[in-house]
Amino acid sequence: MTPLRRRYIEDLRLKNFSLNTIRVYTHAVAAFARFFGRSPEALGEEDVRKYLVHLVSDRGLSRSQYVLQLNALRHLYQDTLGRPNSLADLPRPKREQRLPVVLSRDEVRRLFSAVTNLKHRALFMVAYDAGLRLSEILSLRAEDIDSQRRVIRVRQGKGHKDRYARLTPELLGLLREYWRAYRPPAWLFPGASPDKQYDLATPGQVLKKAGRRAGITKRISMHTLRHSFATHLLESGTNLRVIQKLLGHGSINTTALYTHVSLQEAHDAPSLMALIEPPSNQGSQ
């Protein structure tokens, strides 16, 4: 590890960034250095601009990935390399207004019918029935399942915030069945080695395979289960503030996105076509 890389990681730790964020930012800076074949110390703002243009124009980088790359390099140049005004003039793209992919209740039933592995089924159900993010699920320990209060303790979720998620009787029953079969010693969902966390990419790969077996054509990910959790609760009449709390959103505006996804009220609204149709002639003559 180079001295610059070590100092960069130390600076991110001092800012109390999560291990995952540090890993992602470090990878982004390393990719930038590889692109030019030189240390970032020898590169400047114009080089960063050329690199970002390459990522957007040649590789079709999304808005969120662009912002990630820009943030990683800003921390490097402004903090670690001590160039406070560096990269300040680089543009930040407008936020894209995209609706999340959501499964119907029938698709969720078909999906879980296609998951035969008990560990995978329990992990996926925590995402769907409790609404946890994948990183939060993989950080769970057995003691985080509070069966007496019927809550799941989420330690240091997004934004370094602890919170409690709901634990329904059905999910508790599934987790008990899983625990009796696997007896995980540390992490609730360990990886190949009992003392190591599950690999971050594996659950998503398993989920996509299950989706194909279930005949689901939508592009699904682990976050799709969380989106479906929120949307199905909203369609069932759950208050938006309650859903905000369960999801761990800091702003109600973030949760309000699901009001655009839920189609229940739209389906309940009368058909305008039916309203303008002429009355039936049934019964005449």
Kindly report, residue by residue over 194-214, the tens digit of the pLDDT: 888 898 899 999 999 999 999
The domain ranges of the chain are: 3-80, 105-267
Determine whether 120 is an active site residue. Answer: no
The catalytic residue among 7, 49, 223, 245 is 223
Q: Of 120, 133, 163, 232, which is the active-site residue? A: 133
49, 150, 158, 245: the catalytic one is 158
| 69-98 average pLDDT score | 84
Average pLDDT of span 12-24: 89
Residue 15 has pLDDT above 70, yes or no: yes
Give the pLDDT mean for 176-200.
Answer: 91
Among residues 119, 226, 227, 232, the one annotated as catalytic is: 226
In whole angstroms, what is the distance from residue 230 CA to residue 236 CA?
Answer: 10
Tell me how far CA of residue 116 lies from CA of 110, 111, 243, 264, 267, in angstroms: 12, 10, 29, 31, 34
Amino acid type, 112:
F
All residues at 6 or more sequence positions from 214 whose CB lies less than 8 Å from its CB, including other chains: 107, 110, 111, 113, 114
For the 105-267 domain, the top CATH level (class) is mainly alpha
227 among known catalytic residues: no
CATH number, span 3-80: 1.10.150.130
258 is catalytic: yes
- Is residue 253 predicted with pLDDT exceeding 80? yes
Is pLDDT at 4 greater than 60 in this prediction?
yes
pTM above 0.75, yes or no: no
Give yes or no: 249 in active site.
yes
Catalytic residue among 8, 25, 77, 258: 258
Region 270-277 average pLDDT: 66
